[in-house]
């Protein structure tokens, strides 16, 4: 392979890489990283029905064989504090205030249509399954916790207390139970059908029907229909009188959801789209940079080798020429003045040559240094 | 005539009369029956016909409505609540079946049924019959049933209003054309309103005394539902509510929130006939049986502001079963 051939290959590889990255960026703007599964399941959480009994927490605990919590599930004082999900409590119910009335909301993984955790994970631990669940496989997990940073709902939790093989834990949508044809543990346990299980597309219709059939009862918004690119779990909130102040004379849409601790400014595009372009280039860099720099190194190495060989050849030629001339001169002296004088002359000439070569080598080094 | 005795007598009579009236008002005897005296010149009742401008020789149209003007007149603050233009003309002057320019092409059906009319900034916001009546259902004594389940609405639901007794085809044709004489209109209205009075209702004693709810008892023991006490309590609360007595016009109307979507002749079917014990993903809107019970009970208690029992106080309605007790004992031991 000569230099031109190598550069041609490198150039075309670079162009392909650039095209690939551009393609990924384009895909990020238009389509999703994960396909939208038409028949995927979801759960509609109707907070107007939720009574805060913590049965869902108990159901989750039992279905997933998690350790018993410090406070038993029928101790409702747990609702007095705002809790977050932990590695051993994949769902928690929190109490919020709306119009001075308590409203309860269950927190768990929203199982996004296009999950941010999956887009942030370079070990590809997270998968959006066709049944709607976002599953985690810890066998490749390196414990970087990028998924926890990426999740807009603060869902994944990390086993900080495990020194040897800490993993990320989160709600699984009871995917193993779904495969057996069972309901998720929490949904099964809910005594109020505040959690309604069904196909996501059906649940959106159900939610709209509820809003329409009960004028004034619900906030006219389905949280999760579009938020963060759409989620499998969706939330309905009770309508509440908006507090309009001078700055906001018209009440903001979805202020009820804000009161329930839900971020209404996530936008309607998947979180992953923001980073897919940049992160899509990472494998490309990992694959091509060794080739690129290795190639550059090889070229310069080869150039040095060629240069050295050329120089040596020239020096050898010059040395041979000199030796031949010396031999001719010595032969001439031997013919005219006898072999004794010839020997002396040969010695003298060899010494002069040696000194000159040394001087030349020195000047040559200087030249290279410059 | 002008002597002291007569004056004293008159004064005594006056004092007695005032005393009688005052005491009578304070006493519980006349149970807030509103004085049905008209303050306007409007007829006390009229039939509202589906007036249209298209030729309609057969008199085909929605059944007209007999409207008790007097009752409504006494209930509202000003005539402009309904006569929103300030001009006390008949609704059908501007709002015909097809809509007219004078009524901004709002049809009669829209004007009478729109549930939620957008607030008008420049002028008086109109109200429809349905809109105003729907708001009345937020009253505490109504909200229990009316917020929980939407009962089936068969033809009889429309008949509550759209029904006029003794209506002939000639009346209908004339009414649609807007040419029915006023006295005939008043006669029809009076007949219909008279027939509406005092609809019979099923009494608490017609239902069971108590009902055992035990179909899904597992963690908890069966619940004993005091059926008669609940019905009696509901009836007691709406006894004096004229709106309720006007619209609960079937013997079984009061039953139809809990026993919704099923014909109410004889014994109603069990809840479990329609509500499965596990939710059907193909029909996720129908609550599973356990949730159906809880949504109904708690929804009504919430609407009626019944403070006790708390929603989360499970054992008030059904006691712990042995299995559940053993379970929580294990939990306590595990916790320790």
Spell out the SS3 assignment of B197-241.
CCCCCCCHHHCCCCEEECCCCCCECCEEECHHHHHHHHHHHCCCC
DSSP per-residue letters across A124-171: --EEE-TTS-EEE-GGG-----HHHHH-TT---EE-TT-SSS--EE--
Please tell me the distance from the alpha carbon of residue B66 to that of residue B161, in angstroms, as a whole number: 7
pLDDT at B34: 40
Interchain CB distance below 8 Å, A206 and B147:
no
Instruction: Name the residue among A151, A220, A173, A161 with its Cα closest to residue A40.
Output: A173
Smallest CA–CA separation between B285 and chain A, in Å?
A: 6
Q: Which residue has 């509500």 as its token pair?
A: B275
Asked whether the beta carbons of A229 and A271 are under 8 A apart, the reply is yes
Identity of the residue in B287, B312, B332 whose CB atom sits nearest the CB atom of A72: B332
**pTM listed for this prediction:** 0.73
Give residue limits of the domains in chain B: 10-195, 204-335
pLDDT tens track for B262-293: 777 767 888 999 999 888 877 888 899 999 99
A172-176, A280-284, B16-20, B224-228: which range is least confident on average? Answer: B16-20
Adjacency order of strands within the sheet including A233-236: A195-199, A41-46, A233-236
**For residue B245, pLDDT beyond 90:** no
User: How far separated are the first and last CA of chain A, in Å rounded?
Assistant: 32
**For residue A22, pLDDT beyond 60:** no
In the stretch 163-202 of chain A, residues with CB closer than 8 A to chain B read 183, 187, 190-193, 196-199, 202
pLDDT, greater one: B155 or A225: A225
pLDDT tens track for A28-73: 444 467 888 889 999 999 999 999 999 999 999 999 999 999 889 9
Asked whether the beta carbons of B62 and B175 are under 8 A apart, the reply is no
Interchain CB distance below 8 Å, A206 and B284:
yes
pLDDT, greater one: A252 or B128: B128
Interchain CB distance below 8 Å, B116 and A215:
yes
DSSP per-residue letters across B115-138: SSPPPPSSSPPP--HHHHHHHHTT
pLDDT, greater one: B215 or B265: B215
- Choosing among 1.10.40.30, 3.40.640.10, 3.90.10.10, 2.40.30.60, the CATH entry for B204-335 is 3.90.10.10
Interchain CB distance below 8 Å, A191 and B279:
no
Q: Is A102 near chain B, with CB under 8 Å?
A: no
Please tell me the distance from the alpha carbon of residue B14 to that of residue B24, in angstroms, as a whole number: 15
pLDDT at B249: 84
Interchain CB distance below 8 Å, A72 and B331:
yes
Identity of the residue in B116, B150, B278 whose CB atom sits nearest the CB atom of A213: B150
For residue B254, report the phi and psi dihedrals to the nearest 5 degrees. Answer: -65, -25
Q: Find, in chain A, the residue whose alpha carbon is nearest to that of B332.
A: A72
For range A1-19, the mean pLDDT: 62
The per-type count for chain A, helices as H runs and strands as E runs, is: 10, 9
pLDDT at A364: 54
- Does ipTM come in above 0.85? no
Please tell me the distance from the alpha carbon of residue A274 to that of residue A272, in angstroms, as a whole number: 5
C-alpha radius of gyration, chain B, whole number: 27
CA B9 to chain centre: 51
For range B109-135, the mean pLDDT: 88
What token pair was written down for A290? 């060794």
Q: What is the pairing mode between strands A168-169 and A134-136?
A: unpaired
Torsion of CA B137, B143, B147, B150, to 10 degrees: -60
Q: How far is CA B50 from CA A19, B90, B105, in A?
A: 70, 12, 15
- What are the b/e assignments for A309-325, b being 16+ CB within 10 Å? eeeeeeeeeeeeeeeee
Question: How sure is the predictor about B24, in pLDDT bands with cuts at 50, 70 and 90?
Answer: very low
pLDDT, greater one: B36 or A103: A103
pLDDT tens track for B182-208: 999 999 999 998 888 777 888 888 888
pLDDT at A343: 86
pLDDT at B335: 45
Identity of the residue in B134, B147, B281 whose CB atom sits nearest the CB atom of A199: B281
CATH class of B10-195: alpha beta
């Amino acid at each position: 392979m000569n230099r031109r051939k190598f550069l041609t290959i490198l150039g075309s590889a670079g162009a392909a890489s650039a095209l690939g990255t551009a393609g990924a960026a384009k895909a990020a703007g238009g389509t999703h990283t994960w396909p939208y599964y038409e028949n995927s399941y979801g759960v509609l959480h109707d907070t107007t029905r939720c009574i805060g009994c913590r049965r869902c927490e108990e159901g989750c605990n039992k279905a997933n064989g998690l350790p018993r919590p410090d406070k038993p599930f029928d101790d409702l004082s747990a609702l007095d504090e705002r809790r977050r999900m932990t590695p051993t409590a994949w769902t928690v119910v929190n109490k919020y205030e709306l119009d001075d009335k308590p409203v309860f909301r269950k927190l768990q993984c929203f199982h996004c249509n296009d999950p941010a955790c999956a887009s942030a994970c370079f070990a590809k631990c997270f998968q959006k399954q066709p049944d709607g669940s976002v599953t985690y496989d810890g066998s490749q997990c390196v414990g970087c916790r990028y998924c926890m940073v990426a999740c807009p709902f603060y869902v994944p939790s990390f086993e900080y207390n495990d020194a040897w093989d800490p993993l990320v834990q989160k709600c699984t949508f009871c995917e193993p139970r779904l495969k057996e044809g069972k309901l998720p543990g929490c949904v099964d346990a809910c005594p109020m059908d505040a959690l309604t299980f069904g196909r996501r597309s059906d649940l959106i219709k159900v939610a709209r029907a509820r809003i329409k059939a009960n004028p004034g009862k619900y906030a006219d918004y389905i949280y999760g229909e579009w938020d963060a690119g759409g989620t499998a779990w969706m939330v309905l909130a009770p309508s509440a009188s908006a507090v309009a102040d001078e700055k906001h004379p018209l009440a903001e849409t979805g202020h009820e959801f804000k009161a329930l601790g839900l971020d209404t400014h996530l936008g309607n595009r998947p979180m992953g789209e923001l980073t897919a372009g940049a992160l899509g280039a990472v494998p490309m860099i990992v694959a091509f940079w060794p080739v690129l720099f290795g190639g550059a190194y090889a070229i310069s190495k080869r150039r040095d080798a060629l240069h050295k060989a050329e120089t040596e050849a020239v020096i050898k030629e010059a040395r041979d020429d000199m030796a031949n001339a010396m031999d001719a001169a010595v032969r001439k002296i031997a013919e005219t003045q006898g072999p004794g004088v010839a020997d002396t002359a040969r010695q003298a000439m060899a010494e002069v040559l040696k000194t000159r070569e040394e001087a030349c080598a020195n000047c040559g080094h200087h030249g290279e240094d410059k | 005539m002008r002597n002291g005795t007569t004056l004293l007598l008159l004064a005594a009579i006056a004092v007695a009369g005032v005393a009688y009236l005052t005491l009578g008002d304070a006493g519980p005897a006349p149970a807030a029956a509103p004085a049905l005296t008209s303050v306007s010149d409007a007829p006390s009742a009229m039939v509202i016909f589906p007036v249209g401008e298209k030729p309609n020789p057969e008199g085909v149209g929605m059944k007209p409505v007999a409207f008790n003007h007097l009752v409504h007149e006494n209930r509202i603050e000003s005539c402009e609540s309904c006569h929103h233009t300030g001009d006390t003309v008949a609704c059908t002057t501007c709002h015909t079946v097809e809509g007219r320019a004078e009524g901004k092409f709002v049809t009669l059906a829209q004007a009478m049924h729109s549930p939620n009319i957008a607030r008008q900034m420049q002028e008086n916001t109109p109200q429809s019959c349905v809109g105003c009546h729907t708001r009345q259902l937020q009253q505490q004594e109504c909200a229990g049933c009316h917020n929980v389940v939407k009962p089936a609405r068969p033809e009889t639901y429309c008949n509550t209003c759209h029904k006029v007794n003794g209506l002939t085809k000639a009346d209908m044709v004339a009414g649609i054309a807007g040419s029915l004489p006023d006295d005939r209109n008043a006669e029809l209205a009076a007949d219909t309103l008279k027939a509406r009075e005092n609809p019979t209702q099923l009494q608490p004693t017609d239902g069971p005394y108590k009902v055992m709810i035990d179909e899904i008892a597992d963690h908890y023991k069966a619940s004993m539902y005091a059926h008669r006490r609940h019905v009696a309590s509901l009836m007691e609360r709406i006894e004096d509510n004229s709106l309720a007595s006007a619209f609960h016009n079937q013997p079984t109307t009061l039953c139809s929130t809990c026993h919704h979507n099923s014909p109410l002749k004889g014994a109603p079917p069990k809840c479990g006939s329609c509500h499965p014990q596990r939710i059907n993903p193909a029909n996720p809107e129908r609550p599973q049986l356990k949730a159906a019970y809880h949504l109904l009970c708690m929804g009504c208690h919430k609407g009626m502001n019944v403070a006790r029992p708390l929603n989360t106080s499970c054992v008030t309605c059904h006691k712990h079963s042995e299995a559940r007790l053993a379970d929580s004992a294990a939990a306590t031991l595990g916790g320790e």
